[in-house]
């Protein structure tokens, strides 16, 4: 199975793939207040797929929170 997977990835020019889990926590407020900084925190969790294909880095992330589910995709790196 590993040899078949490797041959399939090579046929598409994919050098590597990564599966990444993530959790983010934060808060947005109208002004900075140290006393309110850690109250009413919001959480986002998700999974991402990274690949190097034909010399480009390709990313796709799926994140979920109480506000909904979102997909974000990137091709290449900004720097």
Nearest of 79, 77, 31, 25 to residue 55 by alpha carbon: 77
Contact 44, 63 (CB under 8 A): yes
- Above 70 in pLDDT, residue 79? no
- Give the chain as a 3 state SS string: CHHHHHHHHHHCCEEEEEEEEEEEEECCCCCCCCCCCCCCCEEEEEEEEEEEECCEEEEEEEEEECCEEEEEEEECCCC
pLDDT tens for 21-37 read 999 998 887 888 887 77
Question: Average pLDDT in the 24-51 region?
Answer: 87
pLDDT at residue 1, rounded to an integer: 63
Determine if the pTM surpasses 0.85: no
């Amino acid at each position: 199975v590993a040899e078949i997977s490797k041959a399939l990835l090579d046929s598409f020019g994919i050098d590597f793939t990564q599966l990444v889990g993530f959790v983010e926590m934060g808060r947005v407020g109208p002004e900075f207040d140290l006393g309110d900084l850690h109250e009413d925190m919001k959480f986002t969790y998700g999974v991402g797929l990274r690949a190097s294909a034909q010399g480009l880095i390709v990313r796709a992330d799926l994140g979920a929170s109480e506000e909904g589910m979102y997909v974000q995709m990137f091709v290449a790196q900004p720097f």
